Structure 1
Amino acid sequence: MVIEKKKKISKAWIIGAILIVLHFYKLPFYYSQPGDAKELAPFVEVEGGYKEEQGSFMLTTVLMGQTNVYFYAWAQLSDYRDIYPEDQIKRPEETEEDYLHRQQMMMTSSQDAAKIAAYEYAGKEVNISYNGIMVTSFIEGMSAEEYLTHEDRILAVDGYRVKTVNELNKRLAGKDLSEEAVLTVLRDGEEVEIAVPLSPFPEDIEGGEGRVGIGIMYPVTDRSISFTPEVTIDVQNIGGPSAGFMFALEVLNQLTSEDLTKGYHISGTGTIDEQGNVGRIGGAKQKVVAAHNAGSDIFFVPKEGGREGSNYEEASATAQDLGTSTKVIGVNTLAEAVEYLESLGPKEEKES
């Protein structure tokens, strides 16, 4: 009897040890799932600005982390959880700390673009000094990783000065596979010209089907900016560029005396550039879930000019699947979002 008991105890310890090992063993995949919706007013401060909002503007998040066996299996049990190969999230030599730093750089850049777009729309003073476009990471298999380095700053394309990521993309758009892009790059303190051949985007890159480019992933506009009145944005533990559009709405609301929220709880997502153009993001369906869970009245999402497979289409399908009362609104620009909000009556009147 004693021997039998020892055998049972030994088996239990072995099973327990295996379960613990499986918990800590990381697979070469990342999972993502719906995050939450965070009210922006406490994190945005325009000097002397208007803070009396009847409703709220909220950014929406996606939670992401490296998978173990359990998370990988768990992610299969919901349409709102996704699995990504590690090489789609991090470059091969990139540590977790490097990845988080890159995400924070993109967040900072998106905040700058949001401030500029909001101040320009409101007719307020902005002073900008541009220092080139930072090369943060590469798309594996495309030409940029062979010709450029992470320390480079791109200054011009084919002899045309480019100050922002948006200008860089416009100069590269329309080229075909047989062409090259002549980049003027600041490297080791000197300007050099580098001819970079165009490459097809991999099929597994979201939004890259049928397109060609040089293969820079998440470039960042490097610039120094001052605003009048001063503005600060202080959000911790959130990375990436996808909150830029909602930051712009909150900044704009504090710059003007009219409350754009009108009592509505308004969440959303989307990148933004200095001209107020709203761009594609990842995780649209998961952010709709976050907006729904937060009880949002309105969810803004990039319409992408109405293209097939847009964030707006994805978000609308998810909202219908959820049966949510949150209204999904697709927009291409900050101006479109403002015009939509200005067309609404106050929430109290609508519900009375």
Structure 2
Amino acid sequence: MKKRTYIALFFFGAALTFLLIFMKLPYYVTMPGSAQSLKPLVHVENGDRDKGTFMLTTVRMGRANVIAYLFAHIRPFYELHPVEEIKQEGESDKEYTMRQLELMEQSKEAAIVVAYRHAGKPVSYEPHGVYVMSVLPDMPAAGRLETGDRIVAIDGKPLGTSEQMVNYIRGKQAGDRVRVAFIRGRKRQETELELKPFRQHPNQVGLGVTLMTDYDVRTDPPVDVESEQIGGPSAGLMFSLEIYNQLVDEDITKGHKIAGTGTIDLDGNVGPIGGVSQKVVAADREGAEVFFAPNEHGAPTSNYREAVRTAKKIGTHMKIVPVDTFDEAVRYLRSMPET
């Protein structure tokens, strides 16, 4: 009898362990990640190696199991997000990863352009292709286009940016057919698709794809920016500051440890990101003295205001600095005292 009881308890425990660890819930859990020095990732040819440090900050994220779900309710700065808040409709894990990596590529390209322009160094950029980031199910592109395909023309027209393609499609109506030329691997292919209304936006028609433009950026001196497997656009501001600091003679860090977050566009505007509280925690753990946070032009719900609240909660001495542009960040750095 005891033997049967032990066996039953063993299988019950195994089943419970399986459910707690391997059963995935319809949530993602996020938590503070790391604050990583950008010096090993940014290499401007013959660039300055300065005393101070710029750091990008990250958020750790994974699909929630039962244990992670419970932790998110009791651990500070652990947050739960429904799957639909993270991934686009019908988006696979592969498509999500591809989209995040491409967002990082676009962020790096913008950071390079901004840094070189402000340093007065030669830089040029031109569209190099429009890539498919995700494909919606039950839409014309499903089963015909794939994540990673590079669209080169629609109806024989070479459209160089995602904006041009979207505007071209907007001039069409439901039922219209378009010829899409694309490159998959090294092979050029063509398919004809009939436009359909979007389920969530019945007044708009489309192919059912998310598109992103890849730019060919050329600089003098050359620069190489390694982002490893970090995804998303939120390191744009910090990449631009590190690149700029290597291009100019001065050390704009003044010897300090500077962390921060925020997207950057080609005009040097800083945009909001997700997980700013978790990034403040990560920066504080690494001893950052300053943290740049998107100000969103003083909006009541801005990243900056959230970052200030988090800084007070954790009792950090790190200075939270609001920024709307690359120029504002540089001006603040130049106003700091030398270490």
TM-score band by shorter chain is: 0.7 to 0.9
5 Å-filtered alignment, 1:140-289, equals 182=171, 187-188=180-181, 220-289=212-281
2:121 to 117, 124, 133: 124
CA displacement, residues 230-271 of structure 1 (integer Å, 9 cap, x when unaligned): 000112121111011100000000000100111110001011
Report if aligned partners of 1:138, 1:144 keep a CA contact under 8 Å in 2.
no
CA RMSD of aligned residues (A): 3.7
**1:307 corresponds to:** 299
Report if aligned partners of 2:96, 2:134 keep a CA contact under 8 Å in 1.
no
CA displacement, residues 281-308 of structure 1 (integer Å, 9 cap, x when unaligned): 1101110111111111000011111112
Aligned equivalents of 1:229, 1:129: Cα separation in 2:
18
Aligned equivalents of 2:116, 2:196: Cα separation in 1:
36
- Aligned partner letter, 1:125: P
Residues 69 and 298 of structure 1: CA distance in aligned 2, closer, same or farther (over 3 Å): same
Q: TM-score, normalised by structure 1?
A: 0.77
The percentage of counterpart residues that share the same residue type is 39
Aligned equivalents of 1:269, 1:98: Cα separation in 2:
24
Report if aligned partners of 2:140, 2:196 keep a CA contact under 8 Å in 1.
yes
Q: Which runs of 5+ in 1 are unaligned?
A: 156-160, 172-179, 202-211
CA displacement, residues 295-351 of structure 1 (integer Å, 9 cap, x when unaligned): 1100001111111201111111111111111111010111100000001111x3xxx
1:64 to 61, 65, 74: 61
**2:186 corresponds to:** none
Residues 162 and 319 of structure 1: CA distance in aligned 2, closer, same or farther (over 3 Å): farther
Length, aligned pairs only = 318
Aligned equivalents of 2:86, 2:331: Cα separation in 1:
36
State the Cα distance separating 1:106 from its structure 2 match: 1.1
State the Cα distance separating 1:275 from its structure 2 match: 1.2
1:74 aligned to 2:71?
yes
**1:7 corresponds to:** 5
**1:175 corresponds to:** none
Report if aligned partners of 1:153, 1:186 keep a CA contact under 8 Å in 2.
no
- Aligned partner letter, 1:91: Q
Residues 302 and 186 of structure 1: CA distance in aligned 2, closer, same or farther (over 3 Å): farther
Report if aligned partners of 2:289, 2:318 keep a CA contact under 8 Å in 1.
yes
1:24 aligned to 2:22?
yes
What secondary structure is seen at the aligned counterpart in 2 of 1:188?
strand
State the Cα distance separating 1:134 from its structure 2 match: 4.4
CA displacement, residues 30-61 of structure 1 (integer Å, 9 cap, x when unaligned): 1110001000001110001111x221000000
- Aligned partner letter, 2:125: I
Aligned equivalents of 1:81, 1:307: Cα separation in 2:
24
1:330 aligned to 2:293?
no
Report if aligned partners of 1:152, 1:187 keep a CA contact under 8 Å in 2.
no
Aligned equivalents of 2:333, 2:63: Cα separation in 1:
39
- Aligned partner letter, 1:250: E
Q: Which runs of 5+ in 2 are unaligned?
A: 154-158, 173-177, 183-189
Residues 232 and 311 of structure 1: CA distance in aligned 2, closer, same or farther (over 3 Å): same
**2:36 corresponds to:** 38
Aligned equivalents of 2:63, 2:92: Cα separation in 1:
12
- Aligned partner letter, 2:264: I
